[in-house]
Structure 1
Amino acid sequence: MRVLGWLAAAGTLPYLTLKLTWLSGGTAGMTDPALLAEPAIVVGNAVTFAMDLVVIVLALALTHRWGDRLPVWLVLLPMWVGTGFLVPMAISIMPAITVETLTGGARSVAFEPWLQPLVYGGFAWQGVFLCVAFGAHAARRWSGLVTAVEPPAPGLVPFLRVVTAGGCVMAGASALLHLVVGLTAGSAVALGVEAVNAALAIAGAAGVAALVRTRPVSRWAAVAAAWTGSAAMFAWGLYTVTVGMTTTALGGGSDAAAGGAQLTGLLGGFALAVAGMLALVGAGESRSA
């Protein structure tokens, strides 16, 4: 178990080294060094540097006994957001960047060609080992809660149905818009990335719906789908909306479909996470009543 934590932590080294270089005045990997002086970029680099430090702490907490003593929210919240960022990087973004690098496809005007494969390769590495470590931690710590098939407490049912329905509608809209973006991008690589985004949104909605119905074929599979799908929608929706509000070159621009996909994903991911949590915790309260 402990080796998983250290392996996940090792995946942060390329990103941390790069961010520390930039924050110290270096310009490695940049084709437009002046961009690093923009206030929004400086703040963004500091925040993302701190976020990767959190990954190290989280990876060690998941694989050492002292992590079992941490409050539940202190483990679940950063892990949920981290899952949302890292899983898409591992299964779609990193493969897409690899294909584009090997074929000489579209490249960022802000970065040297080697930078994105290095950074996203580190993210993919983190995602694999962090998620495996979290799965083992969750199985040891919360297996009883996950496997218990009980209806939620009666008082929660009306609210739970409304939140679930809203989350599923937003997830469906996000999935549809992602497919629209992919189909109109004119690139098979972009279509592949957007198809994965759509699949994650549908998986999140299906997982939560299964948990709410309390009759999933596999309780663990339903939880994994709900967790990963809602996290991906929320994390990337929040990131994209935040970056879109900046005026830097990295903020870029997006069409209505792309913006709508991320905004509905942000709202749907949050709603599905709330519904999934209530379905699990509410069932526990019903069982203990």
Structure 2
Amino acid sequence: MIDIKEKKNCCGCNACYDICPKNAITLSTDIEGFWYPRVDIDKCINCGLCERTCPQLHIGALKKNDFEYPVCFAAIHKNIEVRFGSTTGGLFSALAEQMYREGGYVGGAIYNKDFSVSHFISNNPADLALLRQSKYSQSQTCGIYKEVKRLLMAGEKVLICGTPCQMAALRRFLNKDYENLIIVDFICKSITSPKFYAKYLDYWERKVGSQLVSFKFKDKELGWRSLVKRFDFKNGKTMYSRAQDNDLYSMAYHGNIVSRPSCYFCQFKGFPRMSDITIADFWGVEKYAYLKDID
């Protein structure tokens, strides 16, 4: 059974929760707001599925694919409104739009009503606006692995995006390759504490004296290089907070003081990748004159 003795050995992917046939695994949240699996030994039948699914325990098997160093492309979405509404260049939206055109399903992280983050999947193009943008807080993935497998086994096409550890966990959960599946991850600095994230938003609500109705990381209205956070409140006020203005979240995140313990010892970074496609910012792209627009 899963037995977490050191917190650095659990990335919080929750694949063990989904794979357990007896619902013997629950998630316990620690003082920092990170969740960890806890096994009910009275329900556990020692089938070993949780250990066989854990990506942390099988990194050697996961870090193998057909190419050690992938081909890289610089790309932006042709629709400027999509780019403006995205955290970076809108590539995820382009991939999702193609999957929708093929009648498939698209999954990724979305904000819930309280701005907590969870994974979601659907075949409705209207949901793309929810999936767009980086969330910068660990997403709750309970149930998503089961749902992806159900869709794949039903013959549906699936495109899903998540952190490298979550997508590695999906590969372990599925335990086989599917031609109708595209796995996308991204260059990930770290996962921040959901507790810290919630307190940060609460701080802004108390500061403004109104309920938050919309929130966005890396808003582009004041320029995409400024790492601006935008807050829209029920009383009609809109506030902005920039990294260079001592924004609390930016200082904690970039100061590496609110990351999940496993992130400091990440096994999922580097090459080879465990996804089919990895997306990332391309800071400094303007320095490379040989990168031309491709029709």
- The TM tier, using the shorter chain, reads under 0.3
User: TM-score, normalised on structure 1?
Assistant: 0.26
User: TM-score, normalised on structure 2?
Assistant: 0.26
Structure number having the greater strand percentage: 2
Structure number having the greater helix percentage: 1
